[in-house]
Each structure stands twice: as C-alpha cells, then as structure tokens.
Amino acid sequence: MEYASRRLIFREFTDLDFSLYYSIFSNAQVMKYTLMDPFKSEEEALPYYQRILSNNKEILKRSAYEFGVFLSMDKSFIGFADIMILFKNDFGGCGEIGYFLLPCYWGYGYATEISKTLINISFKELNLHKVSARCNSNNLHSENVMKKAGMIKEGEIRKVRYKNGHWDNELQYGIVKEDWDFFNN
C-alpha cells in the first residue's frame, strides 16, 4: 500500500526497514511527549516492528495503517505516520492519526502535510466518518499540527499521561467527514 502527497511518499514498512523504524522510536527528542518512552535497545523494539509487519498482511480485520514517510524528491526517510482504526461498521467508523518526524525534518510543514493526507485517506479510502488525534498538552508542535489540519479541540483530559516524572494532561482534537468535505471541495 502506497500513497503520495505533494512532497511526500507514504509506504508500508518491509523486512528491510527496521533501522528506519528504530531511528524514530529510540530518539529521545522525538519521544519527549509521547505515551511510550524511547526504546533502549533493538531487542525491545523488535516485537513492535514485527506486529506492524504482520498487521500489513491483514486484509479483513485491519486495525492499523502504519507508514514510513519519505521525501518524494530524493527518497530520504523522514518519519512514521499511522491511522489506527478505533471502531468501524457499515455506516462509518472512527480512526486516530499519529505522526513522528526525525528532528532534522521539523519546521518544514511536513507534519501538516502528513496529517491532511492521513485524514483524506481515512475519509475517502477507509470510509471513516470521524478522525481524532491526541497529544500531551505540553506538546505545542503537535497541537499546532492538529489545528492546521482542520481539527477542532474536543477536550482536555486531566492528568492521564505519566511523562518525565509527572502526570500530564492530554488534548483531544477531531474532525468529522462533513467538515472535511466542506473545506476541501
């Protein structure tokens, strides 16, 4: 499965891409505000990567779409993006998007391009009716991305994320298909 946006290519990970995945999720700067702490070893990360590879083969009950993101210009690896399917039936469904970039690619608008692409895939290809995103309330970069992608703040849940020695709040943003269609047609 592969998608493209203006400057980016989204493709599923293969057996050969473990080092790319590990470069993101072992990076302390990337993981500063995320739910999980950075991996400390390849051994720790490998089961998570294997779960991604096996999920890529799932056709009927697919619960997640996880992509490596590359620059279309020179094929450099810039990060990880995903859509988790939270619930789905014949009438629609709810998904949650995530995005993690190597720090050298922050500040170029790539995360905004990624989130808009993931939302578009969710509504147009996966037939979801609602897409959400969550972040640590201190993660201002991530909250900005949600806003720029057209998502609306739906709430702030108090003290649900243990990070860096304290319990932090979580922001929840979302967008429904009608709003997306209205602003993108």
Ligand X SMILES: CC(C)(COP(=O)(O)OP(=O)(O)OC[C@H]1O[C@@H](n2cnc3c(N)ncnc32)[C@H](O)[C@@H]1OP(=O)(O)O)[C@@H](O)C(=O)NCCC(=O)NCCS
- For 94-108, the DSSP string reads EEEEEEEE-GGGTTS
CA neighbours closer than 13 Å in the CB half-sphere of residue 87: 5
Alpha-carbon distance of 163 to 131, in angstroms, equals: 25
Exactly one of 110, 123, 173, 180 binds ligand X (CB under 6 A); that residue is: 110
Least distance CB 112 / ligand X (angstroms): 4
With binding defined as CB under 6 A, does residue 173 bind ligand X? no
Taking the complex as a whole, the smallest distance from the CB of residue 12 to ligand X amounts, in Å, to 20
Q: Which of 34, 127, 169, 172 binds ligand X (CB under 6 A)?
A: 34
Question: Closest distance between ligand X and the C-beta of residue 118, in Å?
Answer: 12
- Dist CA 131 CA 120 (whole Å): 10
Which residue from 83, 119, 128, 135 is in contact with ligand X, where contact means CB under 6 A?
A: 135
- What 3-state class would DSSP assign to 151? coil
**Cβ contacts of 53 within 8 Å, gap of 6 or more:** 13, 14, 15
Judged by CB under 6 A, does residue 55 bind ligand X?
no
The residues binding ligand X (CB under 6 A) are 30, 33-34, 98-101, 106-112, 135, 139, 141-142, 144-145, 148
